[in-house]
């Protein structure tokens, strides 16, 4: 009997009072204006393509744990355990030139950027990047890199 592996995403509570989704509200103010009567884009759906209630942190940790392994195998396993392929490429770029040292996910969570090297292996864009080297970008949040809290304190630049 073969046991299925856990999905690489988790559902989070999106119905609780006070959970913000960044929807804004701009469309509701522009919907019934004279400008909207002439603008064809205002006649479309108000539903965005953003999906609320999914957390891809397990995917990002999975990808980072697979550094040095064959990209084809890693990609195949990740796709089989996801609801869609797009979140993989939030972290992974197919060339080193397109890669970023770190990628911001959410308000204050950062993950190391990855790329596929010439030998079709998953690699870190900046292998020297650690939570000890990064500085927080504001004083109000707890910043993390790959799930580890940044150790340096925030210093306002003049």
Which two tokens mark 108?
């204050």
Quick: pLDDT tens for 30-43: 666 666 556 665 55
Confidence (pLDDT) at 141 = 87
pTM above 0.85, yes or no: no
Distance from C-alpha of 48 to C-alpha of 22, rounded to nearest angstrom: 11
Distance from C-alpha of 117 to C-alpha of 1, rounded to nearest angstrom: 37
Q: Please name the residues in contact with 17: beta carbons below 8 A apart, sequence gap of 6 or more.
A: none
Which two tokens mark 88?
């993989």
How many residues in total does the chain contain? 158
Domain chopping of the chain, boundaries: 55-126
Quick: pLDDT tens for 53-83: 788 999 999 999 999 999 999 999 999 999 9
Q: How many C-beta atoms lie closer than 10 Å to residue 36's C-beta?
A: 14
Distance from C-alpha of 83 to C-alpha of 58, rounded to nearest angstrom: 13
Confidence (pLDDT) at 26 = 61
């Amino acid at each position: 009997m073969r046991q299925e592996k856990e999905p690489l995403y988790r559902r989070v509570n999106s119905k609780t009072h006070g959970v913000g989704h960044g929807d804004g509200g701009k469309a509701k103010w522009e919907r019934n204006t004279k400008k909207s009567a002439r603008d064809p884009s205002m006649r479309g759906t108000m539903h965005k393509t953003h999906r609320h209630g999914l957390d891809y942190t397990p995917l990002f940790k999975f990808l980072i744990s697979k550094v040095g392994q064959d990209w084809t195998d890693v990609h195949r396993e990740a796709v089989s355990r996801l609801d869609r392929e797009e979140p993989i490429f939030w972290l992974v770029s197919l060339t080193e030139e397109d890669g970023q040292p770190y990628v911001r996910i959410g308000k204050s969570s950062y993950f190391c950027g990855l790329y596929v090297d010439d030998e079709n292996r998953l690699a870190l864009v900046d292998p020297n990047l650690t939570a000890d080297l990064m500085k927080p970008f504001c004083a109000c949040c707890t910043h993390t890199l790959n799930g580890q809290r940044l150790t340096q304190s925030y210093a306002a630049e003049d």
